Amino acid sequence: MERNVREDLDALIPKYISLSEKEKKSIISEANHRLVGKRKKRIFVQPVLVTVAMLFLIVLIVPSFLSSSSPFTPEKVTIPDHEYDGLINALYVDSTNELIFTDHQDIYSFNTELNEKSVLMDSNDTVIYDFAASEKWLIWHDIASFELNILNRQTEEVSKVKGISAHDLLIKDDTLIYMPLKGGEAEHSYKKLDLNTLEETTLHVLTGVGSSSKSALNNEFVVIPEAFRNDTGEYYTNFFLFDVATGELIDKFSAPFEHARGVTITGNRIYAQFSNGDEASILGYFNIVDGEFAQLDVPLFGDYAIYENTVALSLPKGSSNTVKLFELQEDGVKPLSTLNAIKERLVVPRFTREGTLIINGESADFSMYLIQTKE
């Protein structure tokens, strides 16, 4: 009977949920324990009825296994007197415990430990959308003047590279990686800029038909996605993996998808949300060690973010959606209860390179939530 019940248990569990053999045994054991307790005074029960009763109890027990207690605690952060569109792209700097954001004119810092706000860049003449920040550097491009602005936060010196705006800004130590714009048009390349000397080198020349995602950076590598179209009209996406320090091309990976959104590199994997045309997207990854591609078994989702074994997915909820947290298990996921108590809609999940998850809430005060996933 246990083998049949185990098969039925497998059928009951959604495909995107991974249960270990130990957990499956625990569920069956608990159901059996409850059933035996109810049968103590009975002399005989037909096996079919026993199996039905077991499955009924399993249905009641499984949810407690599917939503694990979470080791993470959300920290609610409310920044008064700022609009939603300024906070939705806020960055978090782990080493200084600060959220950095812009209202497209000025750039602000909010210290989450002291609950103090300060102005990092104050100007009435700028139009800011893309910016990047670290403990040492603050970099933004001004759409109005086509200047790349570099603030050394330690010395308070500002350097300007005139005639250049920029898109897709990434900071690693004293290096900026970006896509330059000159005269409002892309140069079709990615550059490396030494922030101390302002020496610029070309990292990658773009030869494809575009990209559905920005580049992605970890502590060692940067990956640049680029879509191509072959002679038969089929699309595919290449991922170019570079060593940040040397600028050397380490490897190239190719996937048969037109779109690769939300490209992320964490651990030894390059993740993306893959799709062709109007098809539903999948969440997949390349293992950068062996080059193998795999698909994660996850529920239907909108946005996603991932850091090591923690996955944030935007899932349907009524007529809308909200973010839920999961633990990665092999090539499936297991729900965590971290965000279950938060009733407002949660949107735009993103991780820092140090593993802090930032999520925006849509309550009246536009609060954000920070979750430290790595000790």
pLDDT of res. 43:
38
pLDDT band at residue 33 using 50, 70 and 90 as cut-offs: low
**Alpha helices (H) in the chain, listed in sequence order:** 2-12, 21-39, 47-66, 84-87
115-153 residue pLDDT tens:
999 999 987 678 888 999 999 999 998 888 888 999 999
Mean pLDDT over each residue of the chain, to the nearest integer: 86
Mean per-residue pLDDT, 11-21: 53
pLDDT band at residue 23 using 50, 70 and 90 as cut-offs: low
Tokens coding 220: 């060692």
Domain residues for the domain of 29 are: 2-66
Residue 123 lies in a domain: no
168-222 residue pLDDT tens:
999 999 999 999 876 445 568 999 999 999 999 999 999 999 999 999 999 999 9
Residue 15 lies in a domain: yes
Q: Report the residue count for the chain.
A: 375
Give residue for tokens 């497209």: 104
Residue 369 lies in a domain: no
Residue 217 lies in a domain: no
Q: How many CB atoms lie within 10 A of CB 307?
A: 22
**Count of domains observed in the chain:** 1
**String of DSSP letters for 142-196:** ETTTTEEEEEETTT--EEEEET-EEEEEEEETTEEEEEEEETTEE-SEEEEEETT
In 3D space, the residue among 83, 128, 134 whose CA is nearest the CA of residue 109 turns out to be 134
pLDDT of res. 7:
58
pLDDT at position 162 over 60: yes
pLDDT of res. 134:
97
Mean per-residue pLDDT, 44-64: 47
195-210 residue pLDDT tens:
999 999 999 999 999 9
How far is 79 from 88, CA to CA, in rounded Å?
A: 12
Residue 250 lies in a domain: no
| Rounded percentage of the chain residues whose pLDDT exceeds 70 | 79
On whether the CB atoms of residues 102 and 140 are closer than 8 A, the answer is: yes
Mean per-residue pLDDT, 52-65: 46
| Sequence-separated contacts (24+) of 342-347 with Cβ below 8 Å | 342/74, 342/369, 345/317, 345/320, 345/321, 346/314, 346/322, 347/88, 347/303, 347/314, 347/322, 347/323
Residue 243 lies in a domain: no
Residue 12 lies in a domain: yes
Q: How many CB atoms lie within 10 A of CB 120?
A: 18
Mean per-residue pLDDT, 21-43: 51
DSSP 281: P
pLDDT of res. 347:
97
Residue 128 lies in a domain: no
pLDDT of res. 339:
96
- Backbone φ, ψ for residue 25 (5° rounding): -65, -40
pLDDT of res. 190:
96
